[in-house]
Chains A and B, each alone.
Chain A
Amino acid sequence: NAGVTQTPKFQVLKTGQSMTLQCAQDMNHNSMYWYRQDPGMGLRLIYYSASEGTTDKGEVPNGYNVSRLNKREFSLRLESAAPSQTSVYFCASSAGQGAGGTEAFFGQGTRLTVV
């Protein structure tokens, strides 16, 4: 059982380049999330999708866009990368509040460096 799969695991971008981080879950979860993790800042929510077809901003959405492609997949796009977006990005999923699900399952992370 794969759980939450993120691709790529590592990426180096030049300032101004664009890229899409991919995330897929095989647990039939309703809700999916994108977080970034920086030293001393903990996990900060970028965007989330409570259910297929909906997306909402989190704490730090500027510079990012998301797409909930279907129930399984939730992608994060950086249109014009900046050095401040150097971070470790985690995708997570959960069954959703309405289904009684609280536990969030996390992927292994994408280490992104913007130079």
Chain B
Amino acid sequence: QKEVEQDPGPLSVPEGAIVSLNCTYSNSAFQYFMWYRQYSRKGPELLMYTYSSGNKEDGRFTAQVDKSSKYISLFIRDSQPSDSATYLCAMRNQGAQKLVFGQGTRLTINP
């Protein structure tokens, strides 16, 4: 079993929809949780970063962490065609150098 599980999709939704992307994990020591966005043929870029449990909002994006369920989510409101990309979750322990990534979910927003 992988430490971090993420549904690879693909996920296709109409413009303006609310998108929910999720990851589950097995390592209860993970403390730092990140979402990266990767456009086609580009490197990943950090989108959201959360420490421990709770919610974090940045514009149309909201990241949620539920450590009791070992489950993290990224919500995209009023989705735009420019949000079409692969979204990767990543996480690490308090003292670790290494990030553990999910497989990535390919998202397409249709105009």
Contact = CB atoms under 8 A, between A and B. Distances in A.
Interface in B78-111: 88, 90, 92, 95-99, 101-104
B43 A107 contact: yes
A31 B97 contact: yes
Interface string A71-83: 0000000000000
Contacts of A4: 43
Most buried by B among A4, A31, A41, A104: A104
B42 A109 contact: yes
B44 A103 contact: no
B74 interface: no
A102 B41 CA distance: 24
Find the residue from B92, B97, B102, B103 having the highest chain A CB count within 10 A. Answer: B97
Interface stretch (A11-19, A42-50, A60-68): A42-50
B99 to A, nearest CB: 6
B63 to A, nearest CB: 13
Nearest to A106: B43
A102 B92 contact: yes
Contact of A97 (B34, B42, B90, B97): B97
A97 B45 contact: no
B54 interface: no
B102 A96 contact: no
Contacts of A50: 97
A96 B42 CA distance: 23
Contacts of A96: 97
A96 B45 CA distance: 17
B16 interface: no
Interface of B: 6, 8, 32, 34, 41-46, 49, 88, 90, 92, 95-99, 101-104
Given A40-B103, A50-B97, A103-B46, 5 more contacts: A31-B97, A41-B103, A43-B88, A96-B97, A109-B42
For the complex of A and B, the 10 pairs showing the least CB-CB separation, nearest first, are A106-B43, A42-B103, A43-B101, A42-B101, A103-B46, A50-B97, A106-B44, A108-B43, A102-B32, A107-B43
